[in-house]
Amino acid sequence: MTVLSPRPDLWTLDPDYVHLNHGSFGAVPRRTQELLALLRAEAEANPMRWFRSVPERLTASRLELAAFLQTDPAGFALVPNASAGVTAALSTIPIPAGSKLVLTNHAYGAVRYAAERFAKANRAEIVVVDVPLEADDDAVVAAVEAVLDERTAALIVDQISSATAMVFPIRRLAALCRSLGIASIVDGAHAPALLDAPAEDGADFWTGNFHKWPAAPRATAGLVVAEQWRTATLPLIVSWSEYDERLPERFDQQGTADYASWIAAPESLRVLADLEWPRRRSELSTLVDEGARILAKSLGTSVAEVAHPAATMRLVELPFPGERSPDAGEAFKEKVSRELKAEITLTGFDTRVFIRLSAHAYNSLHDYQRLAEWLPPML
Ligand SMILES: Cc1ncc(COP(=O)(O)O)c(C=O)c1O
């Protein structure tokens, strides 16, 4: 079988740079950008007419996005990002004084801050479960199970972690929570397009970004709510839909906002379909594996042994010993961008520092080879 060709031509990324960090902010294909521009032009030609048309267009978009996730559209709402999804979930569940909110040490920093805010406001406690980088599914479930008890209000857990690009056994964790009467909130920020039917693992709340791997316009994310919570779940901004009994429609109105991104988002799903996703995704796994091996070899380090890595991300260890400050990390990324014309991200876990490599349809092996050739002399 022939290997699919890289398609940088479908994006507008600056060809002078290698773009190896799709995972942080995504990148929007040309076709979707063009549609977005048309929609915004239409809005500016007649704002009154545009806003009258928004509800119907949002409904159509939501139905396509829900179908992509293979989830029940009645439990699917649009939110601007995974941070908003997690915040909405935390503002819905009861968090009694003295209860516990459980996270793992892989949790995304801003999600942990959200849990901290709600814990403080409710005089609850944050418990962080240590899950080793190399833990397999059984070890993850055992580590989480060991801390869940009758005081636990919720488990907040990544489906695919950011710093460690690891896939968590959500179906098992959600079932465990359900059996103990504990609410489960799944941070699936990276899951759409990397996992099939990611919202169907039985969590009480699931949120995920369309602006990452599905390459939708930014500020497009979903919140999937289990049936028993749908009436209680409210959007973070109080607007005209406050008393709408339907969950999705309640989230459609967030005051005067730019809804063009949400309306244009399905175009990116059509781009993925044209790219032969998920066959493409499986080839990108092979590509990022190979790219990570090449980079690790050039650095004299190794690729992190994550038991269940995300399809299109890998961690390559940096040779720096000990802890590096966030400021040093930012300065390093800036230097790599300026001097090597390569966009990368760094992540940290315990005292280890990694380059987290991504692969999307615009990448080719040459991108990783170029980084591998140029980075070692700079260190
Ligand atoms: C695991 C995880 N959770 C949450 C987020 C936050 O996503 P957003 O910035 O879209 O709210 C990210 C972003 O990278 C993430 O990787």
- Distance between CA atoms of 160 and 179, rounded to whole angstroms? 23
Q: Which two tokens stand for residue 101?
A: 């909110």
Helix (H, G, I), strand (E, B) or coil at 293: helix
- Distance between CA atoms of 144 and 137, rounded to whole angstroms? 11
Q: Among 209, 213, 262, 315, which is best to mutate for testing ligand 1, by the most ligand atoms less than 8 A from CB?
A: 209
Taking the centre of ligand 1 as the mean of its atom positions, its distance from the CA of residue 133, in whole angstroms, is 19
* Nearest ligand 1 atom, CA 209: 10
Taking the centre of ligand 1 as the mean of its atom positions, its distance from the CA of residue 85, in whole angstroms, is 10
Task: Pick one of 3.40.640.10, 3.40.50.2300, 1.20.1530.20, 3.90.1660.10 as the CATH number of 33-271.
Answer: 3.40.640.10
Taking the centre of ligand 1 as the mean of its atom positions, its distance from the CA of residue 25, in whole angstroms, is 9
Evaluate: CB of 204 within 6 angstroms of ligand 1: no
Evaluate: CB of 185 within 6 angstroms of ligand 1: no
Q: Say which DSSP state 344 is in.
A: -
Amino acid at 247: L
Q: Which two tokens stand for residue 167?
A: 């896939």
Task: Pick one of 3.40.50.2000, 2.40.160.10, 3.90.1150.10, 2.60.120.10 as the CATH number of 8-29+276-378.
Answer: 3.90.1150.10
Residue 102 has φ and ψ, to the nearest 5°, of -105, 130
C-alpha Rg value of the chain to the nearest Å: 21
pLDDT value, residue 320: 77
Which part of the chain has CATH 3.40.640.10?
Answer: 33-271
- Distance between CA atoms of 137 and 244, rounded to whole angstroms? 40
Q: Which two tokens stand for residue 209?
A: 């970004």
Question: Where do we find the tokens 């030609």?
Answer: 45
Taking the centre of ligand 1 as the mean of its atom positions, its distance from the CA of residue 130, in whole angstroms, is 20
Evaluate: CB of 19 within 6 angstroms of ligand 1: no
Percent share of the chain, pLDDT over 90: 96
Please check whether residue 276 is in contact with residue 3, taking contact to mean a CB–CB distance below 8 angstroms: no
Taking the centre of ligand 1 as the mean of its atom positions, its distance from the CA of residue 373, in whole angstroms, is 31
| pLDDT tens-digit readout, 252-293 | 999 999 999 999 999 999 999 999 999 999 999 999 999 999
Evaluate: CB of 62 within 6 angstroms of ligand 1: no
pLDDT values of the chain reduced to their tens digit, one per residue, 379 residues: 679 999 999 999 999 999 999 999 999 999 999 999 999 999 999 999 999 999 999 999 999 999 999 999 999 999 999 999 999 999 999 999 999 999 999 999 999 999 999 999 999 999 999 999 999 999 999 999 999 999 999 999 999 999 999 999 999 999 999 999 999 999 999 999 999 999 999 999 999 999 999 999 999 999 999 999 999 999 999 999 999 999 999 999 999 999 999 999 999 999 999 999 999 999 999 999 999 999 999 999 999 999 999 999 999 999 976 556 778 889 999 999 999 999 999 999 998 999 999 999 999 999 999 999 999 998 8
Beta strands in 159-299 (DSSP E): 183-187, 205-209, 221-225
Taking the centre of ligand 1 as the mean of its atom positions, its distance from the CA of residue 189, in whole angstroms, is 5
- Distance between CA atoms of 20 and 288, rounded to whole angstroms? 10
Give the residues across from 76 on adjacent strands.
224
Which positions ≥6 away from 311 have C-beta within 8 Å?
194, 195, 281, 282, 284, 285
Nearest-CA neighbor of 278 among 367, 170, 197?
197
pLDDT value, residue 327: 83
Taking the centre of ligand 1 as the mean of its atom positions, its distance from the CA of residue 190, in whole angstroms, is 7
Which part of the chain has CATH 3.90.1150.10?
Answer: 8-29+276-378
| Nearest CA residue ID for atom 14, ligand 1 | 24
Evaluate: CB of 39 within 6 angstroms of ligand 1: no
Please check whether residue 76 is in contact with residue 62, taking contact to mean a CB–CB distance below 8 angstroms: yes
Evaluate: CB of 209 within 6 angstroms of ligand 1: yes
